[in-house]
């Protein structure tokens, strides 16, 4: 592990997809509550992004947005493989808080502040991430889902510099999830 490289002659997005699939697959990562292979999440994020941009670096960052956060891959490996532009986007998308930073509320606040300082392109990727994650929230235990949706409602307020169409979609999916969770408290585990 740690020596995976992509074909430098292949298109950037294709390389990012292969790299992401390798790293998430290297730890057999799956989506926590659905059990689906983790790569389905970055794939969904990229499809959301593709609805608003064809920016190759943004699409690559969509594939790579959780690689550093969730796998042994480092930002230095991202930079070596994809260059500084993509690495900077991934760095802006990677949560920075650790367990040593306190409880979940404190960590979420630290990560939200990090997202607030991100570039508009990184905020666009983060919005696509929010849209997909919140659209899957009913797979999660009820109490966590309620808390998560509220955290994302607060997060999108600092993502206003991202694509306005995705900001609107994020608001809509959060409103949808909020309504469903209010109507379906029997989902509580």
**Nearest residue to 167 via CA among 127, 123, 137:** 127
Phi, psi of 140 (to 5 degrees): -90, 160
**Nearest residue to 86 via CA among 35, 12, 179, 33:** 12
Mean pLDDT, residues 94-107? 96
2-42 pLDDT, tens per residue?
A: 568 888 899 999 999 999 999 999 999 999 888 999 999 99
189 pLDDT more than 60: no
159-182 pLDDT, tens per residue?
A: 999 999 999 999 999 999 999 999
Please state, in angstroms and rounded to a whole number, the distance separating the CA atoms of residues 8 and 169.
35
pLDDT of residue 184: 65
Please state, in angstroms and rounded to a whole number, the distance separating the CA atoms of residues 6 and 14.
9
Catalytically active residues are: 69-70
Helix 120-135 and helix 40-50: axis angle, to 10°?
Answer: 120
pLDDT of residue 6: 85
Mean pLDDT score of the chain: 94
pLDDT of residue 186: 52
126-157 pLDDT, tens per residue?
A: 999 999 999 999 889 999 999 999 999 999 99
Q: How far is CA 104 from the centre of its chain?
A: 18
């Amino acid at each position: 592990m740690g020596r995976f490289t992509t074909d430098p002659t292949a298109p950037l997005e294709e390389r990012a997809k292969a790299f992401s699939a390798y790293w998430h697959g290297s730890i057999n990562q799956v989506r926590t509550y659905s059990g689906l292979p983790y790569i389905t999440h970055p794939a969904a994020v990229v499809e959301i992004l593709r609805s608003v941009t064809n920016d190759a670096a943004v699409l690559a960052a969509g594939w790579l947005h959780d690689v550093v956060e969730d796998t042994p891959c480092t930002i230095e490996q991202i930079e070596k493989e994809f260059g500084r532009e993509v690495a900077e986007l991934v760095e802006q998308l990677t949560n920075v808080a650790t367990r040593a930073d306190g409880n979940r509320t404190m960590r979420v606040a630290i990560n939200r502040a990090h997202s607030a300082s991100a570039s508009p392109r990184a905020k666009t990727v983060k919005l696509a991430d929010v849209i997909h994650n919140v659209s899957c929230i009913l797979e999660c235990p009820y109490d966590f889902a309620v808390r998560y949706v509220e955290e994302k409602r607060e997060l999108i307020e600092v993502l206003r510099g991202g694509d306005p169409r995705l900001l609107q979609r994020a608001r809509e999916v959060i409103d949808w999830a909020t309504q469903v969770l209010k109507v379906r408290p029997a989902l509580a585990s």
